[in-house]
């Protein structure tokens, strides 16, 4: 799947095009995946549908979806490099995700964000319908770095 759009950005699910050094470099310093070991990231990518955003052949954004491809999808690790923010790259990533053929007619989508609520609202994300039913187990130091 390839999508072209504003700012000459192409979004693809071709895992062979992903720049793992760039992805790991960003995520290992992010607030949500600080210290993630490269082998853990590689395993996560191998077990997800990953989306890379490229401008001039260089990776400028990334997202992955953890899914059973039948009922549920969790959008994770979404980022756009600072140099390409404000150019619609995040929207292009989300449009590619939401229109992906293997992610249609799912019962539930989830994600976590600290600062991009308005972006995700454009794609139908809202606060949990039943927050009293939502539960989680959270390890705030999975890679030896507090999150």
The CATH number of the domain where 87 resides is what? Answer: 3.40.630.30
Structural domain boundaries enclosing 21 = 2-121
Q: Where are the beta strands (DSSP E) in the chain?
A: 2-5, 9-12, 49-55, 58-67, 72-80, 108-111
pLDDT digits (tens, 9 = 90+) for 13-71: 999 999 999 999 999 999 999 999 999 999 999 999 999 999 999 999 999 999 999 99
* Per-residue confidence band for 4, with pLDDT thresholds at 50, 70 and 90: very low
Number of domains in the chain: 1
Asked whether residue 146 is domain-assigned, the answer is no
Asked whether residue 82 is domain-assigned, the answer is yes
Q: What is the pTM of this model?
A: 0.91
pLDDT digits (tens, 9 = 90+) for 54-68: 999 999 999 999 999
Which value, to the nearest 10 degrees, does the dihedral of the CA atoms of residues 125, 126, 132, 135 take? 30
């Amino acid at each position: 799947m390839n999508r072209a759009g504003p700012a000459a950005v192409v979004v693809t699910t071709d895992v062979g095009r992903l720049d793992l050094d760039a992805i790991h470099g960003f995520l290992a310093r992010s607030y949500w995946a600080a210290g993630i070991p490269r082998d853990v990231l590689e395993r996560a990518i191998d077990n997800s549908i990953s989306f890379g955003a490229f401008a001039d052949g260089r990776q400028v954004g990334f997202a992955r979806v953890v899914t059973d491809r039948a009922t549920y999808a969790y959008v994770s690790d979404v980022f756009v490099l600072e140099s390409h923010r404000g150019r619609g790259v995040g929207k292009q990533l989300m449009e590619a995700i939401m229109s992906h053929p293997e992610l249609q007619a799912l019962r539930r989508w989830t994600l976590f964000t600290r600062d991009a609520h308005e972006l995700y609202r454009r794609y139908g994300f809202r606060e949990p319908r039943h927050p009293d039913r939502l539960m989680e187990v959270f390890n705030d130091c999975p890679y030896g770095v507090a999150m």
